[in-house]
């Protein structure tokens, strides 16, 4: 990170609302926004024909530290994040040890601070050891230095309805939210991929859509009953979108996320038996993908979250059923959202800014993030060139892992620069 200048002038960029203007940053804060600004002392970034938006916020990231530093660390994940335009990541709790105590969440928080490229907000486990039985020390994590507000057993579903009810009630004390990985375990024992035509042919054990939808339906009703806030992680099914739509219409305080891979890929990719496409929840059908895109467009689905899940090579260079679930997301999420939502006419840039920055910051309670680009706001910005085609190369990633299913795909929108507290933490073409 360069500290040469306390001033940066982003010239001639297009804001998400369509205004073309200059943005002057001073001491990490937006100093002025106007059609034409000059400052001889400032480092100048020419953003002609580029979009300047509030920096991206991910509500669902696996940074693997502590415990699985061979796949990712807070530092390598931060580098991947800023390359993807992110200025805030939410570190999932399924580390080793699990982030179920104040000690672990503070450790992750401090690792984020020392990496210094973006904000790392730890997510706390709902239950001890993410085992779904006994509540973790939710209050202690909330009161810790890390000030945790989002709690999730992600990787596992909080499947016991009483545990889920209690967790939802308990976080009301400080306005927290439970982020549920919706997967009824009894319906998905040993499951490998979406249950349907493709799984029938491939002989891979199916993960039925109903196993996700049954939990979503139950949990929106629980959230309504106790008057608490629920977030549904990685929604994948058309039926799930319908349930969320119904719940919101009913006034239930529920939000939902979709991942870039579920917006782009289908279960047809499993026909290769290449476990690079193995992920939980699984890739679904074309009609699910379309329902997710439309749900994201109309706001039923509030946000895009990456579920960035790094794995070492040996976890994927094997038979499908032996392979680990999960794929990388941070570095290409924006490109994929543009390809699936903007280039298809479903979402405009203001919508992208909302789904990838404003809304996730609001759900997570990250008050410094997702702010309007206006005088006095912290200068957390992403600069995007919508027409800078590139091909994904798994050997050119910032992540420590290579398990990207997007290898070889071409996308047109590219993150050109990321500013965190006014500092250029990433610039395309320059090494970090």
> Using CB under 8 A as the criterion, which residues of the chain lie in contact with other proteins when the complex forms?
195-206, 208, 272-274, 314, 317-322
The least CB distance from residue 214 to other proteins, in Å, is 16
Q: Could you tell me which residues are beta bridge partners of residue 368? A: none
C-alpha separations of 350 from 191, 248, 342, 388, 410 in Å:
38, 22, 10, 20, 24
Q: Of 37, 36, 34, give the one whose Cα is nearest residue 7.
A: 37
Residue 247, SS3 per DSSP? helix
The least CB distance from residue 262 to other proteins, in Å, is 20
> Which residues, other chains included, contact 338 with Cβ-Cβ below 8 Å and sequence gap of 6+?
352, 384, 386, 411, 412, 413
Compare residues 33 and 276 and give the one whose CB is closer to other proteins. Answer: 276
C-alpha separations of 364 from 68, 91, 272, 349 in Å:
25, 12, 37, 22
The least CB distance from residue 162 to other proteins, in Å, is 25
The least CB distance from residue 252 to other proteins, in Å, is 30
Report d(CA 87, CA 419) in Å as an integer. 8
Q: Which residues are catalytic?
A: 307
Compare residues 1 and 318 and give the one whose CB is closer to other proteins. Answer: 318
Compare residues 257 and 288 and give the one whose CB is closer to other proteins. Answer: 288
Compare residues 43 and 320 and give the one whose CB is closer to other proteins. Answer: 320
Report d(CA 142, CA 151) in Å as an integer. 9
User: How close are the terminal C-alpha atoms of the chain, in Å?
Assistant: 7
> Which residues, other chains included, contact 414 with Cβ-Cβ below 8 Å and sequence gap of 6+?
335, 384, 385, 388, 389, 390, 428
List strand residue ranges (DSSP E) for 119-236, in order: 119-122, 150-151, 177-180, 193-194, 206-207, 230-232
Compare residues 17 and 322 and give the one whose CB is closer to other proteins. Answer: 322
Report d(CA 57, CA 59) in Å as an integer. 6
The least CB distance from residue 198 to other proteins, in Å, is 7
Query: Would you report the helix, strand and coil content of the chain in percent, each value rounded to 5?
Result: 35, 20, 45
> Which residues, other chains included, contact 431 with Cβ-Cβ below 8 Å and sequence gap of 6+?
none
Compare residues 177 and 276 and give the one whose CB is closer to other proteins. Answer: 276
């Amino acid at each position: 990170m360069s500290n040469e200048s306390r001033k940066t002038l982003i010239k001639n960029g297009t804001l998400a609302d369509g205004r073309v203007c200059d943005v002057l940053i001073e001491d990490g804060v937006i100093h002025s926004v106007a059609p034409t600004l000059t400052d001889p002392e400032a480092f100048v970034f020419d953003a002609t024909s580029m979009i300047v938006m509030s920096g991206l916020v991910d509500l669902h990231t696996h940074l693997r530290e502590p415990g699985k530093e061979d796949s990712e660390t807070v530092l390598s994940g931060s580098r991947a994040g800023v390359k993807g335009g992110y200025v805030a990541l939410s570190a999932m709790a399924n580390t080793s040890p699990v982030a179920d105590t104040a000690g672990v969440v503070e450790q992750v928080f401090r690792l984020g601070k020392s990496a210094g490229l973006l904000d790392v907000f730890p997510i706390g486990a709902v239950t001890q050891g993410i085992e779904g039985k006994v509540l973790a020390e939710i209050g202690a994590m909330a009161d810790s230095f890390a000030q945790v507000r989002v709690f999730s057993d992600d990787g596992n579903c909080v499947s016991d309805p009483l545990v889920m009810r209690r967790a939802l009630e308990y976080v009301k004390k400080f306005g927290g939210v439970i982020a549920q990985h919706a997967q009824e375990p009894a319906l998905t024992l040993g499951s490998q991929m979406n249950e349907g035509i493709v799984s029938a042919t491939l002989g891979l054990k199916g993960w039925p859509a109903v196993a996700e939808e049954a939990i979503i339906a139950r949990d929106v009703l629980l959230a309504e009953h106790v008057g608490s806030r629920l977030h549904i992680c990685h929604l994948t099914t058309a039926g799930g979108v319908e349930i969320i739509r119904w719940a919101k219409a009913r006034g239930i305080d529920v939000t939902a996320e979709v991942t870039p891979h579920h917006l782009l890929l289908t279960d047809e990719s499993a026909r290769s038996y290449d476990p690079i496409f193995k992920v939980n929840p699984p890739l679904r059908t074309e009609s699910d993908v379309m329902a997710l895109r439309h749900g994201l467009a109309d706001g039923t689905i509030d946000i895009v979250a990456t579920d960035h899940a790094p794995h070492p090579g040996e976890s994927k260079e094997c038979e499908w059923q032996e392979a680990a679930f999960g794929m990388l997301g941070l570095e290409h999420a924006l490109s994929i959202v543009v390809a699936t939502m903007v280039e298809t006419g479903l979402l405009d840039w203001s919508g992208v800014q909302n789904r990838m920055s404003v809304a996730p910051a609001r759900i997570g309670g990250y008050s410094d993030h997702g702010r309007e680009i206006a005088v006095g706001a912290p200068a957390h910005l992403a600069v995007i060139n919508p027409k800078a085609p590139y091909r994904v190369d798994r050997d050119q990633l910032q992540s420590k892992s290579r398990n990207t299913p997007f290898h070889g795909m071409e996308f047109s929108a590219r993150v050109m620069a990321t500013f965190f507290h006014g500092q250029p933490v990433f610039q395309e073409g320059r090494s970090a």
